[in-house]
Amino acid sequence: MPSWQVNRSDRPPGHRATPPVVRCRIRRQVGHSQSMGRRTLLVTAGWLAAAVLATLIGVAAIGLVGESITGTPGGVRSQAEVERALAAPEPTSATAAPAGPGLSASSSPPAVPSASPGLRRSFSTVGGTAVAECVGADVRLVSWAPAQDYRVKDVDRGPDDDAEVTFAGPAGEFEVKVGCIGGEPVARPGDGD
């Protein structure tokens, strides 16, 4: 017989005693759940602030690195931008930019005092686009822009009997070589090198 079923003399035989009621007092720590909530909130807010800051730094770094990867300041020009640049009158001052590997479609071409600029024409390859114009019997490249994932490997902008730009990229090298016939820029076949 369990210990709580004690047969007492004040109870009739066969009567079962009820189990004793156990009373427990649970003590609450006042303010404990509030401080945990604040702590969790502060940790979450700090983590979010760090994530936002890291994202902003990453975006800024990609923007800086992206400009140097494309090889052209400001990126590759769209067809509309090329058309607008061709429609704009050429400056008459002789402010030539130094020639170098970072030279791009946005550079200022040197002024040629011997003859006035003639007809301009655009030439495209997989590697990029070049715009040429005839100046008397000579041709010169006005601008050029590599396609995405391509870079300018070599440029001979003229004015000369021919001008050329070579674009290098994942599918190989592509050369735009132009000359003038009858005052109009025309594509010339490469020399196979």
Q: What is the pLDDT of residues 55-102, one digit of tens each?
A: 999 988 887 776 555 555 556 677 777 777 777 666 544 444 433 333
For 134-187, write each residue's pLDDT tens digit. Answer: 888 889 899 999 999 999 999 998 888 889 999 999 999 999 999 988 888 898
160 and 116 within one domain: yes
Q: 115: which 2 tokens?
A: 């003859």
CA-based R_g, the chain, Å = 40
Q: Are residues 156 and 183 in the same domain?
A: yes
Specify the pLDDT at position 47: 95
Q: How far apart are the first and last CA of the chain?
A: 108
Residues 84 and 172 in one domain: yes
Please tell me the predicted confidence (pLDDT) of residue 23.
74
The whole-number pLDDT of residue 20 equals 67
Query: 96 vs 188, which has greater pLDDT?
Result: 188
Query: What residue numbers bound the domain in which 112 lies?
Result: 79-89+103-187
Residue 97 falls inside a structural domain: no
Residue 191 pLDDT: 57
CA distance 73 to 109: 16
Cα separation, 80 vs 163, whole angstroms: 24
| CA-CA-CA-CA torsion sign (169, 174, 180, 184) | negative
**Residue 177 covered by a domain:** yes
157 and 107 assigned to the same domain? yes
Per-residue pLDDT band at 10 (split at 50, 70, 90): low
Q: What pLDDT is recorded for position 96?
A: 41
Token readout for 66 is: 């992206």
Position 106, amino acid: S
Q: Looking at residue 82, what is its pLDDT? A: 76
Note whether residue 21 is domain-resident.
no
Query: 122 and 65 in one domain?
Result: no
* Mean pLDDT (whole number) for 122-129: 91
In a domain, 148, yes or no: yes
Residue 181 lies in a domain: yes
- Is residue 85 included in any domain, yes or no? yes
Residue 113 sits in the same domain as residue 60? no
User: 184 and 119 in contact (C-beta within 8 Å)?
Assistant: yes
Residue 65 domain-assigned? Answer: yes
* Per-residue confidence band for 117, with pLDDT thresholds at 50, 70 and 90: low
Q: What is the 3-state secondary structure (H, E, C) of the chain?
A: CCCCCCCCCCCCCCCCCCCCCCCCCCCCCCCHHHHHHHHHHHHHHHHHHHHHHHHHHHHHHHHHHHHHHHCCCCCCCCHHHHHHHHHCCCCCCCCCCCCCCCCCCCCCCCCCCCCCEEEEEEEECCCEEEEEEEECCEEEEEEEEECCCCEEEEEECCCECEEEEEEEECCEEEEEEEEEECCEEEECCCCCC
> Does 48 share its domain with 84?
no
Say what the pLDDT of residue 91 is: 53
Q: Are residues 120 and 147 in the same domain?
A: yes
